[in-house]
Amino acid sequence: MEPTPGVLQGRRIVLGVSGGIAAYKAIEVCRRLVDLGAHVVPVLTEAAHNMVGPTTFTALASEPVKTSLWRDADPIPHTTMGQGADAIVVCPATARIISDLRTGRSGDLLSATLVATAAPVVVCPAMHTEMWEHPAVEDNIEVLRRRGVVIVPPEEGRLAGGDIGKGRLADPATVVEAVVGLFTPGPLAGRRVLVTAGGTREPIDPVRYIGNRSSGRQGHAVAAIAAALGAEVTLVTTSSLPPPDRVDLVEVETAAEMHDAVTAVAADADVIVMSAAVADFRPASSADQKIKKSGGPPVVDLEPTVDILAALGRVKSPGQVLVGFAAETENLVDNARDKLVRKGADLLVANDVSAPGVGFAHETNAVTIFGSDGSVRDVPLTDKTAIARAVLDEAMARLPDSESADQ
C-alpha cells in the first residue's frame, strides 16, 4: 500500500548515506521522502562519495549535502541536525556505521549526529552475506534493537560481485514505509496481541528435562512485527533470545507455567498467536536430586500437559482471533485441518519441519495457513519475519471493524 501523499509534511528527516555499494538506492529513498512532504537533510560520509555524487542528493533533497564536522558554516552541525531531526535514517548502513552507533563512536558527521539526537533512528543494513552474518555485526544489531533503533533487515538477492545471499539493501519502498510508520498509527494500534514462543521444558530432575527443538525465533518474530504494527504485545516465552523492542516479556519454562501466564492475560487480547511448541507430556513426578546412572536407566512415567490452545478455543470471546501452530512431518493438510477444528482456532499455521530450511532452529520457514472459514494460504520458504507478517495479516483480516475485513 502506497503511503498517503503529504503524510510526512513538515517532518525533518536526516538521511545518512554511508559508503556501501547500495548507496545509489538512497537516491530513490530521498526522492520518495521529499514526495511525501518531508524536509530531507542529506548527510554523506566521505566513503559514500566513492559510490554516489553529492550533486544528485543536493538536487533532490531539501538542503545541500553535508559531509564534514569542520567544513560547515554551522560550528556544531551534528548537534543542530540531531536536535532538529524528527527522525534519522541511515541508508545504506555499513558494518562500520552500525558499529559506531552501537559504541557511540563519533568519528565523522553522520556518526556524531546519531549520538547527538533523541529522535527515532532507522537503520537499513547493506553488506555482503559474510559480513551480515559475522557475530560482531549480529551482536551490534541486537544491541541496537534493544535500544529501540528500528532495523530494516536486508533482503536476499544479487550482491556486489554477482553472488546471491542475504545482505542486499531493502527495497526503497520498504525503507520509506518504515519511516512513515514512525509517525502514523499502525494497523494494530489500540489492539492487544498475546504471543507464545519457544519449546517448554518439563523437568525429570534438576538437570534433565523433556523438551523439543523449538528455538523461539518464529514467535519472537511475530511479537516484533506485532509491536511494529502498533499493538500492545505480551510475549510469553521459554526462549533465551533477546526480547523484541516494545513488548511485555513474561519468561516461563514449563507448560504449566505457560498456561498460567497465558490465562492471566488472554481474556483482554484481541489476537492470540500460540506459536510455542508446548510439550504434550511431562513426567508425572520430578526427582529432587540428580538421578545417577549407577542406579540404572530410570523409569519415567508420563502424564498429559494442559492443552493451552484447546483451552483458549473453548473460552474464546467474540471477535477474538486465535492462531495455533502445528509442526508436522507427514499428512500436513489433514493433520492441520483436524487440529484447527479440534482446538477451536480461527487460524492454524502448519509447517513440515522435515523439509530443508523449515521450522526448528532455522532462520527461515515455509508454512500453510488454514482458516476456519475454509481459506488456505501457502507462504513459500522465506525468513521468519516475513512469515510473521503473513500470519498477522491473516489475523488482522479477521478482526472486527478491520479495514482488511471490510474489503
Marked catalytic residue, from 212, 331, 335, 351: 212
| Distance in angstroms (rounded) separating the CA atoms of residues 169 and 143 | 20
DSSP state of 43: E
Instruction: DSSP for 181-229, please give it.
Output: HTTS--TTTT-EEEEEESB--EESSSS-EE-----SHHHHHHHHHHHHT
The answer to whether the beta carbons of residues 275 and 196 sit under 8 Å apart is yes
The answer to whether the beta carbons of residues 246 and 189 sit under 8 Å apart is no
The answer to whether the beta carbons of residues 199 and 218 sit under 8 Å apart is no
- Cell 519472537 sits on residue: 220
Burial of 24 (0-12, 13-18, 19+ CB in 10 A): middle
> Minimal CA–CA distance to 235: which of 249, 221, 214, 245?
249
Q: Per-residue b/e over 54-90, b at no fewer than 16 CB within 10 Å?
A: bebbeebbbeebbbebeeeeeeebbebbbeebbbbbb
The verdict on whether 365 is a catalytic residue reads no
- Cell 533503533 sits on residue: 149
Residues annotated as catalytic are 212
